[in-house]
Structure 1
Amino acid sequence: MTRIDAKFADLKAAGQKAFVAYVMAGDPDFDTSVQIVKGLPAAGVDIIELGLPFTDPMADGTTVQLAGQRALERGMTLDQTLQIVRELRKDDTTTPVVMMGYYNPIYSRGVDRFLQEAKEAGIDGLIIVDLPPEEDDELCIPAQNAGLNFIRLATPTTDDKRLPKVMQNTSGFVYYVSITGITGSAEAQADDVAPDVARIKAVTDLPVIVGFGVKTPASAQSIASVADGVVVGSAIVAQIEAGKPVDEVLQFVKSLADGAHKAGE
């Protein structure tokens, strides 16, 4: 059982919904990024999604793209991204961390070496948006064999024929992309999301977490009410981009987490 599996078991036993927060590793700089990541659990974050900066992030909207650029311009690397997780693990051995990004930096490092280093650093799962199920032998299967969850994205365009294939080797949870398009675009609506969450749950026992287009505590509560939890990324990254102090960023995160957690009350 991974930390992700244990977290969802605990949440289910408590009748709670999950709040997942995404931040870009190294944004706005390494030291500030460490402070933010280390502060997320106390702000109510159940699972941390840590973005791995990449030069060609095709699924990311402008806000997250710019965060990646800022991080790369500050010299952020895969090694430093892993170091942020190591810094977190000095004080926190329970909060799950999912690395989200693209395959190229992992391929360049070498899959076996990357998985060993990720596991040792304290990463629990991977979301690699440009590896479809047809490429499971590349990273998905090796990651699961190494004890990491491989979390798959499902979207509004994932039809009933495609869905079982997408779920085939998924573990940890399913990340449902609530809108068609890139991150940080339109606002997600619970009435639109609920039927697709039910459709996914019909083919998997995994928790379904909804992301993309969730920007406020009210929308976090609304979306979490029709799923097992909610992910917020761009809205948090925008606070960092605006130069808000770490404590203000974490206060904003807490407001979102409180919203999501109200959905389970």
Structure 2
Amino acid sequence: MKYPFLLLLPLVLAGCQQDSAPTRALPAARIGKQTITEQDINDRLPFLSAEDREFAKTPLGHQNLVQIITREKLIAADARATGIADSDEYRSLLADKRAQLDQIYNEFAADTLERLWYHKLEESGSLAVSNSEVDDYFKKYPYEMTIKQIIVDNAQTADQVLRTLKAYPSRWKEMERQYSTAPEALKQFSFMPGEYLDNIAVIAANSPSGKPQGFFKTAQGFHIIMKTGERRLSKKDAEPRIREVLKNKKTDDVLDSLKNKYEVVIYEKSE
């Protein structure tokens, strides 16, 4: 919103003229029995851009802002008087927007609570990773693997796909396109042990490249994997990833202890 442009609006309302600098105690405008006060004007200022706020401090800018707010109030008054505010369409749109805002608020509340929980955990030192822990992990896992995978939602299909791929590995793309529910990021990717599902990492680490393996059930579905490569990492490249892996493992340990504390039960659907 740029007020110099809006000065061109052909809206001149009686009672909107000001002969002196604005004062909070004085009314700025009136529409019937409704008064627009200087406080109303000041309450609008934080929502303006820095440039528009500066302009609104001038007599001309202040007058323009009064006219804009008056115009909005005038439209609202007539919309109420003519029954628009009581219409089903208006109430439906408000209800939809309130539901959206409630969802945004609830998501923000949950995200903020989780963020502060992690912050408190970090402050306590529970997630701290020492240099010796990093060194020990790197000695065991100084490499990353690259795999491609197909994820399907039932065991029967997984068995069918695996049989086909063991007989005809070259049909991987065809099977992937036809059956896989894996998101794009999980179709082919590289990871260090600890960065992805542990059981998948173990199978990949002990599998030859180019041979389909599976199928393995996880919360994501039924996995068929094929290792396509493996390479050793430098300590410099591996260290930040190892720290993140170990931090996540410490977080999982805390969460596991909380499951016992709060008696968590997860019911799995049977096939």
TM class, shorter-length: under 0.3
TM-score scaled by structure 2?
0.18
* Bigger Rg, structure 1 or 2: 2
Q: Which has the higher helix share?
A: 2
TM-score scaled by structure 1?
0.19
